Amino acid sequence: MSDKSDAARYRWLVLAVFVLSTAINYLDRQLLAALAPVLKAEFRISNAQFGMMLAAFGLTNALSAPFAGTLLDRIGLNRAISLAIGLWSAAGIATGFTRGLGTLVGCRAVLGIAEGAGIPSAGKAIRQYLKPAERAMGHAMNQGGVSLGIALAPVVGAWVTARAGWRQAFVLTGVLGLLWIPLWNWVAVRSEAAPAPGPEPGAGRELLRDRRLWAFFLANALSMIPYSLWFNWTTLFLTDVHRLTLVRTAWYAWIPPVGATVGGVAGGWLSLRLMLRRGVPAMTARFRVCLAASVAALATAAVPAAPSPGWAAAAISLSFLSVAAFSVNMYSLPLDAFPSTHAAFTVSVLVASTGVTTVVASPVIGWVVEHYGYTPVTSFAAPMPLIACAVLWGTRSIR
């Protein structure tokens, strides 16, 4: 067995440990949505207020992400991610001790600040450890971490709540984050990957003037509308529309994240195959997969017509699968387009766009659901990835 193949496997192993932080990240943030029925009852929160709570997280996440990306590029992956996970774990633990809606919103805002570093750090790790053709698969692997966290949230939340109360669920996930920090640093110091060079002075201003960066920002913001819908509202959709208890909801709510994992892997594999087998340029390959995924995402509009919880979970899974396949390629585009010295910052711009989507869409979704149900929301969300493709094509950002 060659040293080269051993090194390749080691790179993927190191990345797998890093992706575990993504799973913990999304377990932390998804617990709020997973336990939404319990929290709404205890704090007497309406759907519109729940949407505003999501917006508080999205706002701080969007504002902090570019700063987090800049910090990652300047001080390095290991130190920055350790600081970020320490802060978001503390915010998660503090959520378990809240006594009112104001402190709950405050904890979510701090969580949003800290988790602004999560996806940019994953992007930097992927850029640092993987070859260009492997990057979409790296993002697919990270999507697996996202999906694992989302899938575990309703199961862990319901299980812990039934035995010890909802507060202990937040404490538990916060502790998991703190335990990850020494594990990662132990693995990272034994890896052979050289740290990426720091950004050149003044290069950031030139990057901000590049229209491709803002085309990626807008396209990602549009494509994240259906993603944000199922990320934040799946549990409430199943409980509101199909009248399930929290425990019964957990039987179905883990299925869509599995669909997202399948979509992420499929999206990464398809672009990898186009590049290696057919010689398609990286950005063109990404766009082709995004376009195919956008067509499949049109099925989002049909989700409210599902006749049973099982069919609803299957329909949401197809929608989630499609947007995840889009997402892993969308997040690879800035790594293809821009130098490694700005890997974390360029990915952080996409994270900021996702936060903007959450800020704008969540209160609107809450209000519309309150007054008109879910059908108008899914009908609006369905074509958004296709419109995002039009933005990428029309601005010549993938040519």
How confident is the model at residue 385, as a pLDDT? 97
Nearest alpha-carbon partner for 252 in 300, 320, 301, 298: 320
Q: What is the pLDDT of residue 202?
A: 46
CATH topology of domain 3-190+204-394: Growth Hormone; Chain: A; (1.20.1250)
Span 54-100, pLDDT tens digits: 888 888 988 898 888 888 888 888 888 899 999 999 999 999 998 88
Query: For 244, phi and psi rounded to 5 degrees?
Result: -95, 155
What's the CA gap between 16 and 21, in Å, rounded? 9
Low-confidence ranges of the chain (pLDDT < 70): 1-10, 190-205
pLDDT of residue 218: 96
Q: Which residue has the tokens 């969007």?
A: 62
Domain coordinates of the chain in residue numbers? 3-190+204-394
Q: Report helix angle 166-188 to 36-43, nearest 10.
A: 130
| Whole-number pLDDT of residue 368 | 93
H or E stretch including 94?
Answer: helix 77-95
pLDDT digits (tens, 9 = 90+) for 256-314: 988 988 998 899 899 989 998 888 998 999 999 999 999 999 999 999 999 999 999 99
Q: Which two tokens stand for residue 39?
A: 């929290």
